């Protein structure tokens, strides 16, 4: 029986704490950058900011060896299927960090070529504002994600929560169809 199928109750609570700690302390991002935000992400991994202090020793070149997708930059309509394919190939459990205003909402690119929020393509666990967010901001967001991972339930509860978040994102009205100040 895998840890995901363990019954709920006192014992599972303890296992959840341990699994959460181990997961948050060994998050490996997939090597993946889309635009200018990726430069700040690269800086976060370099010696001055040193993401490896938080267990993120390497950015993996294969999505099958990664469990964190940092969407760093605007997502074009052409790239959206590629982003989804990389996400689908990542190992479970996995998380998505939307880095910067372009990835989160399309930013200043309110046009037909850019996806108006990557949460229309993959389920996002944490959003990081800014243009571009500094490496310190990225590290702060990752530490926030660590808290989320530490307290995430195991088993069917986690799967249900992930599926519900994904369904809600896919059904959300794209921002370019909204009646806002620009229309």
Among positions 115-154, residues that touch ligand SF4 (CB under 6 A) are: 131-132
What is the C-alpha separation between 163 and 111, in angstroms, rounded?
29
Token digits of residue 160: 């249900």
Question: Cβ 82 to ligand SF4, closest distance in Å?
Answer: 16
What is the C-alpha separation between 92 and 113, in angstroms, rounded?
31
Q: How many of the chain's residues bind ligand SF4 (CB under 6 A)?
A: 11
Token digits of residue 108: 């200043």
Q: Is 102 annotated as a binding residue?
A: yes
What is the C-alpha separation between 58 and 73, in angstroms, rounded?
20
Among positions 77-106, residues that touch ligand SF4 (CB under 6 A) are: 100-102
Q: Of the candidates 24, 74, 94, 146, which one interacts with ligand SF4 according to CB under 6 A?
A: 74
Cβ–Cβ contacts within 10 Å for residue 74, how many? 23
Contact positions vs ligand SF4 (CB under 6 A) = 35-37, 73-74, 100-102, 107, 131-132
Annotated binding site: which residue ranges?
A: 36-37, 102, 131
């Amino acid at each position: 029986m895998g840890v995901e199928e363990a019954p709920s109750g006192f014992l599972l609570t303890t296992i959840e704490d341990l699994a959460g700690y181990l997961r948050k302390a060994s998050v490996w991002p997939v090597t993946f950058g889309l635009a200018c935000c990726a430069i700040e992400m690269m800086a976060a991994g370099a010696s001055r900011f040193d993401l490896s202090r938080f267990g993120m020793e390497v950015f993996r070149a294969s999505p099958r060896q990664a469990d964190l997708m940092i969407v760093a930059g605007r997502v074009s309509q052409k790239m959206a299927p590629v982003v989804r394919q990389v996400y689908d190939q990542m190992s479970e459990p996995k998380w998505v960090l939307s880095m910067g205003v372009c990835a989160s909402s399309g930013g200043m690119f309110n046009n037909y070529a850019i996806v108006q929020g990557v949460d229309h393509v993959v389920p996002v666990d944490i959003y990081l504002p800014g243009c571009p967010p500094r490496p310190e901001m990225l590290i702060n967001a990752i530490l926030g994600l660590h808290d989320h991972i530490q307290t995430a339930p195991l088993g069917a509860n986690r799967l249900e929560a992930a599926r519900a978040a994904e369904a809600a994102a896919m059904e959300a009205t794209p921002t370019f169809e909204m009646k806002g100040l620009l229309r």
